[in-house]
Structure 1
Amino acid sequence: MSAIDWIHSFDRFDGKGGIKPGLERMVAMLDRLGRPHDALRFVHVAGTNGKGSTCSYLASMLQTAGYKVGLYTSPYLIQFHDRMTVGGVNISDADLADIVGQLRPVVEEVAATEAGRPTEFEVLSVVSIMHYARQEVDVVVWETGLGGRLDSTNVVTPLLSLITNVGMDHQAILGDTIEQIAAEKAGIIKPGVPVLTTAWGKALEVIAQTADENGSELLQFDRDFSAERTAFGWDGQTFDWQGPGVAFGGLQIKMLGQHQIFNASLAVAACVKLRELGIEVSEESMRAGLMNTVWAGRLEVVAQSPLTVLDGAHNPEGAQALGAALQELMPERKAVLIVGVMADKAIPEVLAPLLPLASQVIVTRADMPRSASVETLAQMIHGLDPELPVALSQSVEEAFRLARERVQGTDETIVCTGSLYMISEARALFFH
């Protein structure tokens, strides 16, 4: 059995199957390995949307400043190895196999205890910690998988805790109110560790209260740091940033949409705070790092003729952000919309912000059991907009073939959105 097959042999945590959230298995594995995470410095990032982009901006700026950076993200979009990189380089097959060889007896030992058999994500998180410890990285940019309080990644005490926005997602596991979900995200806050956030409203209130209870300094967007967008287009965006005692004008990013200004702003605020902790990142490194940041599947232009955009908007807030960005970028144009969503998502709420921008919709599904059926998606679209033409396709590849046929002779854009698993399949059609 290959290292990847072995990792995939563990159960996923999906709120079902009797798998209980908790850190017992993580602690048990890491204790037996000599607690390698204690020798590493982390920046821990939680939130509903924008975690991956924020992590990517931050890792890029730190790498540009000369640091050896570990980046842990999920899910992967191109290949399995993407989720754990050092200096932008994926873990190798040889390193993965070697680490798994060391970890397997530890996992078997823990599985035989009351803690029980680890989940797939727990195993992945330990593998990544072992990889970063072996590589002796300077900083790990460490993204939560789901939630925060009981997430596998929450075994570390970071230099900083970052929380992006908080919205309605994974309600079956995290709770069905913003306050409950925010409390889970705020679970990454550690005593005395500074917290930076772009959350707002009721979520911000929960985060602020948790920070106060932990004696942690709170830096919040629009109070302690802010950003103002000064230009945007299909080639990128420019913004001015202001924080405590420091300001940067004309920062540039390639990633699209107003929401990316928030993500980049949070990453800049983290760099400024890290400077106070002795991790020096110059203004030049920040500028170059931001400009060089790319993050697959986030309003990503993958073809020009016809203009084709991929975006993994898999929850209501993500769909709203995508809808707002498309309205800005193509106010006079309609889109042929390719949509595929996981069955456990709030599907009508994901569809609603996007359907007004579409001339027609092609529903499809990722090649995995959790995908909603195309018939279900088509029925929901008809319920939201009975007049909107809908075509059904059982594969992502066929969906794109249909979309290209539909846009011929028009100035319409192809927009593919929904599940990140589907976006992964779509990217494979453009990048080999």
Structure 2
Amino acid sequence: MTYEEALNKIASLMRFGSKPGLERIQKLLQRMGNPQDSLKFVHVAGTNGKGSTCALIASVLKKSGYKTGLFISPYITDFCERMQINGEKISHEELAEIVEKLFPLVEKMNENGEIITEFELVTAIAFQWFAQKQCDLVVLEVGLGGRLDATNVIQTPLVSVITSISLDHTKVLGDTLEQIAYEKSGIIKDGGVTVCYPDQKKEALAIIRKTAAGRNNRFVLADKKSVVPLSMNLTGTGLLYEDLLVNLPFLGEHQIKNAVTALAVLEVLKEEGYHISGHSVESGFACASFPARMEVLSVNPTIILDGAHNPDGMAALADAVRKYLPGKKITAIVGMLADKDVKSSLHFLAGLFTNVITLAPNNPRAMKAEDLAERFRLNGIPAQAMENAGEALQKGMSLAGEDGALLICGSLYLAGDIRPLVLNLLSKK
């Protein structure tokens, strides 16, 4: 089986959509020999900040000498980004080999009416690969929710982590913070340790505490005061942590809180007997990478890429823009999915941009570029709809000029479309 054939097999399951529940993947994994049971996990759920927190933890563990698996979603430009070991993506050949082995099991289950979804298969592939490679630990990001997410088939993890919770995916997870927190807290298993984001909204925090207590977990609320910000600019954030000078390469106040959460997780792992030195923390943070999250692709000209796609993410983006780009004329390329809270998201972006170019991300759920442009115009912001990402990028850079900034935002799908184009353009310069 070729890599392209493997991707087609995986994509063929997309038509079944997302079906919450663990019974199907449990049966599939049983037929595979339950590879996940041979692994140790840090399991991470939340609305925002999951990916950044996962990236920081995995990077420090790698620098500590542990063979560290990382499972994330969605990917930005390459499907294989979804599963990595020590920062290296699964190879095309390995992915094809595992899909060739597993897909007959999936087809047999489908024939019996047990329909495996795309995310369930991808999760199973990751477990199989991490087990084959004998990872010491796996940092496992939840796909959607937590309680009924396919990743939640694992036994009690080393740490259950709950990052920032806000309203998103409300049709699936519920339309209150309490309901969403209940779903996210479903990853908390009996007899474990739960680490929680330091600025959790009180309604969500109460549910997380209650769930942790009910499952006999030690509860750790990450402490914002454990770090002192020393500097903040486009190259990153300098932090004082204990006696360490840590450079966080991610931008924004919210990323400091994600860093604090990651540091609390690492402290728990040290208590569990893992050797994590101060040098590993410093070097792990410094080289952590997380594309398309306030990612500075270029300082001169200033080009920033961000995949925030819900109101809380947009609020964090707006705060970061005001902090890092004061006084600059900002041109934005924006694309969003129609099923997101576009109205609230645009409210946070009000007043930030001199010019806006709208694009439809490469996704069936994308909002039409002209419809999004009209939303901006109604808010008094000049906006023009375009159809071609390459032309939009050229136009955006022209409008931004040498003294302004270009911000690409609104959707991870849009980020995936444009990021390679920007990098290619910059490489030619």
Give the TM-score taking structure 2 as reference length: 0.94
Distance in 1 separating the partners of 2:243 and 2:38: 33
Deviation at 1:112, TM superposition (A): 3.0
Q: Which residue of 2 aligns with 1:237?
A: 237
Q: Which has the higher helix share?
A: 2
Q: Which of 12, 15, 18 is 1:9 aligned to?
A: 12
Q: Which of 264, 267, 283 is 1:269 aligned to?
A: 264
Q: Deviations over 1:236-270 (max 9, x none)?
A: 111233xxxxx344321111111111111111111
Does the 8 Å contact 2:181/2:208 carry over to 1? yes
User: 1:246-325 residue pairs with structure 2 within 5 A?
Assistant: 247-325=242-320
Q: Bigger shift: 94-103 or 22-31? A: 94-103
Distance in 2 separating the partners of 1:359 and 1:168: 29
Query: For residue 300 of structure 1, what is the amino acid of its counterpart?
Result: E
Distance in 2 separating the partners of 1:232 and 1:13: 45
Q: Which residue of 1 aligns with 2:411?
A: 419
Q: Which residue of 1 aligns with 2:342?
A: 347
Q: Deviations over 1:109-136 (max 9, x none)?
A: 222335x211100000000000000000
Q: Which residue of 2 aligns with 1:244?
A: none
Does the 8 Å contact 1:148/1:154 carry over to 2? yes
Does the 8 Å contact 1:338/1:364 carry over to 2? yes
Distance in 2 separating the partners of 1:32 and 1:135: 19
Q: Deviations over 1:142-197 (max 9, x none)?
A: 00011100011001121100111001111111111111111111110111110001
Q: Which residue of 2 aligns with 1:390?
A: 383
Distance in 1 separating the partners of 2:354 and 2:97: 51
Distance in 2 separating the partners of 1:398 and 1:106: 45
Structure 1 residues 333 and 431: alpha-carbon distance in aligned structure 2, compared to 1, 3 A threshold: closer
Distance in 2 separating the partners of 1:251 and 1:140: 24
* Amino-acid identity (%): 39
Query: For residue 362 of structure 2, what is the amino acid of its counterpart?
Result: D
Distance in 1 separating the partners of 2:28 and 2:423: 37
Distance in 2 separating the partners of 1:145 and 1:226: 29
**Per the alignment, in what secondary structure is the counterpart of residue 232 of structure 1?**
strand
User: 1:28-177 residue pairs with structure 2 within 5 A?
Assistant: 28-114=27-113, 116-157=114-155, 158-177=157-176
Distance in 2 separating the partners of 1:282 and 1:303: 32
Distance in 1 separating the partners of 2:103 and 2:184: 30
Does the 8 Å contact 1:42/1:160 carry over to 2? yes
Q: Bigger shift: 288-297 or 366-375? A: 366-375
Mark the runs of 5 or more structure 1 residues left unpaired by the alignment. Answer: 242-246
Does the 8 Å contact 1:41/1:139 carry over to 2? yes
Does the 8 Å contact 1:71/1:141 carry over to 2? yes
Structure 1 residues 218 and 12: alpha-carbon distance in aligned structure 2, compared to 1, 3 A threshold: farther
What CA RMSD, in Å, does the superposition of the two structures yield over aligned residues? 1.5
Query: For residue 148 of structure 1, what is the amino acid of its counterpart?
Result: G
Does the 8 Å contact 2:374/2:383 carry over to 1? no
Query: For residue 11 of structure 1, what is the amino acid of its counterpart?
Result: M
Q: Which residue of 1 aligns with 2:214?
A: 213
**Per the alignment, in what secondary structure is the counterpart of residue 414 of structure 1?**
strand
Structure 1 residues 148 and 414: alpha-carbon distance in aligned structure 2, compared to 1, 3 A threshold: same
Does the 8 Å contact 1:51/1:164 carry over to 2? yes
Report how many residues are paired.
418
Deviation at 1:331, TM superposition (A): 1.7
Distance in 1 separating the partners of 2:16 and 2:278: 41
Distance in 2 separating the partners of 1:60 and 1:20: 32
Give the TM-score taking structure 1 as reference length: 0.94
Does the 8 Å contact 1:365/1:396 carry over to 2? no
**Per the alignment, in what secondary structure is the counterpart of residue 356 of structure 1?**
coil
Mark the runs of 5 or more structure 2 residues left unpaired by the alignment. Answer: 425-429
Distance in 1 separating the partners of 2:137 and 2:206: 29
Distance in 1 separating the partners of 2:65 and 2:341: 42
Q: Bigger shift: 53-62 or 298-307? A: 298-307
Distance in 2 separating the partners of 1:212 and 1:191: 10
Does the 8 Å contact 1:365/1:395 carry over to 2? no
Q: Which residue of 1 aligns with 2:228?
A: 228
Q: Bigger shift: 91-100 or 22-31? A: 91-100
Deviation at 1:73, TM superposition (A): 0.3
